[in-house]
Structure 1
């Protein structure tokens, strides 16, 4: 399945996705009224990510609003995996989505639609929230948007969604004096690893010029996220277009958060822009 997905996410497809996403992002930004507050989540991230999901997964259903609502139910359970009611709704929504995604590798069917139309929105919300709170970095990228290609890893380190993953030890091993036995189940705290002060200087700050890389938001090794090239491409295109257009933005109100133990992100990002 992983091999089939990697082959589907060819260089040709990624170039097509990048080109189309730049077009969609610039078109969406152009129709917004920057003379009044704009919600970067509702008014920008959601429509652009939905267009991306449709381009990549190509569902057979024409009722896109219904697909989007079902995808939100699945995503809500991923964000808060220990909520029983959300889990039940997610299972029902996944079953309802399946018939509309009959072709392509499994990760690029209904789960891919959910990831691109919903989870990608959460990721971009965290990325942009981080940049808004580091205005010097936003300004740097506005002056030199080409730096985003370099800065994507830093943005994923700082804003990555996944808080933890589970693994099972395949052999006895020692890490920092702690013995892990074969067969033991481990909880790997991705968020903590990405903010490890022994690995990253000033880990709670965004610096797109950071030299030390090695973020693990998308996993690593044989279990790395198979859609990582697509996620990086989408993060780059949506963020490049935004900072290219706006020299600076100001957040209008305190942020409310959505999600749970799986991941959290801003519910909205209402901003006023300086053009």
Structure 2
């Protein structure tokens, strides 16, 4: 049975924040008095996503940005009073300002289920500041060469074709996450790290345990440990028998075995889950916007532009946090040393001052400058590979299966809402005769 889908209406699920955080039950406050009161009272981070629209940011973020200010006081679950940034220019400025630290142990996290964090593990560049971050970044950035990217592009095309063939043989309905979106970045990480062919099936099983809904917490813990141990052994092997891959290249640097294994694990985490979710959630968005799906199917050359717009529109890595290391004045407000700022990337990417009609998915939009890959020194190191994977996979999928459709009603798609990476746990699709 075919299930019809339709695009989310612009602004669907948003609401005016009447009596919003800090103003409940207060009488005699209206007009400018309410605005002044809200400015004084810290807000809490809106996290509830609107039912019926799996693509829009949580209701309330846009109102905070547009009706109050792009930078407001925020109360954190642990009681800390810090800040929430929702405007595009504000978030971009915070990304680029070296006076804000990315170190985990300095953060107050905005989500109640995550408490105090330890320092970043060895090799995890996301939680480092300069000069430690600079040392790692300089060693890695030169390894993403044009020659290597060209070779990886050819492999993306080959792997994509292999999995499309497998989908066609299997027939629908099937889970696009398991059968298409997850294997492509998993195998490309294998190519990047130089995982031998004999180990790749085992490697994929571990990564599948880490990225699917069916895995229980114990299975995910075991898979994480197994992957960590494997990457460490892989580093030792590359020391002895280097091959043409990134890990082998890094054995010629001054990185220790522990640091190399940490970098390998970091690249695995950074390059697998996010790209798999973008391929799956991007497909979901296209199936929910038939006119945009048709545009990509009819013009595969639109793929690079389409990927940038999907990155902006979906913003699956939706929130990040930094802490001021000194007093900073921003947007006319004083952020004091030690105060944490939560940066809502998804709200910034929907800022109408930067992207007109931001709640509409438009593959013809020039979405240059979106913050889906971050900005500044922590901008995604592997963004070019991620772009290649999406630019190859999405148009190839809709070209092979021009009548691709959801196999269940859109409201039955299980969404990943409990993690810092938004997306879908699985995506049942089918094609062919109705």
Which is worse superposed, 240-249 or 8-17?
240-249
Structure number with the higher helix fraction is: 1
Matched position secondary structure for 1:30: helix
> 5+ residue gaps in structure 2?
1-135, 239-246, 251-259
CA distance in 2, matches of 1:73, 1:270: 18
Match 1:11 to one of 146, 156, 166: 146
Q: C-alpha root-mean-square deviation of aligned residues, in Å?
A: 2.9
Shift of 1:68: 3.3
Change (3 A) 1:234 1:100: farther
Would the alpha carbon gap of residues 62 and 265 (structure 1) be closer, same or farther in structure 2, given more than 3 Å must change?
A: same
CA offset digits 1:85-118 (Å, max 9, x no partner): 8996686455424324415255762332344444
Distance in 2 separating the partners of 1:115 and 1:222: 15
Q: Which has the higher contact order (CA 8 A, sep 6+)?
A: 1
Contact map agreement 1:74 1:114 (CA 8 A) in 2: no
1:96 corresponds in structure 2 to 229
TM-score (norm 2): 0.55
Range with bigger deviation, 203-212 or 135-144:
203-212
Choose the corresponding residue for 1:26, options 142, 156, 161.
Answer: 161
Tell me the CA shift for residue 11 of structure 1. Answer: 0.7
Mapped to 2, the partners of 1:16 and 1:155 lie a distance apart of: 25
1:273 aligns to what? 431
In 2, Cα distance between the equivalents of 1:24 and 1:258?
A: 26
1:224-235 aligned at under 5 Å gives the runs 224-235=379-390
User: 2:142 aligns to what SS in structure 1?
Assistant: helix
Query: What is the CA deviation profile of residues 59-101 of structure 1, one whole-angstrom value per residue up to 9, with x for unaligned ones?
Result: 359443443344456668xxxxxxx989966864554243244
Q: Write out aligned runs for 1:45-84 (5 A).
A: 45-59=181-195, 62-72=198-208
After TM superposition, the structure 1 = structure 2 runs for residues 235-274 of structure 1, keeping only pairs within 5 Å, are 235-253=390-408, 254-258=412-416, 260-273=418-431
The range that moved more, 250-259 or 7-16, is: 250-259
What is the count of residue pairs matched by the alignment? 268
CA separation of 1:264/1:226 partners in 2, compared to 1, >3 Å: closer, same or farther? same
Q: Which has the higher Rg, Structure 1 or Structure 2?
A: 2
Residue in structure 2 matched with residue 149 of structure 1 by the alignment: 304
Is the contact between residue 57 and residue 108 of structure 1 (CA under 8 Å) also seen in structure 2? no
Residues of 1 paired with 2:204 and 2:162: CA distance?
Answer: 21
Change (3 A) 1:61 1:47: closer
CA distance in 2, matches of 1:176, 1:131: 36
User: Is the deviation greater in 165-174 or in 42-51?
Assistant: 165-174
Give the Cα separation in 1 of the matches to 2:180 and 2:224.
Answer: 28
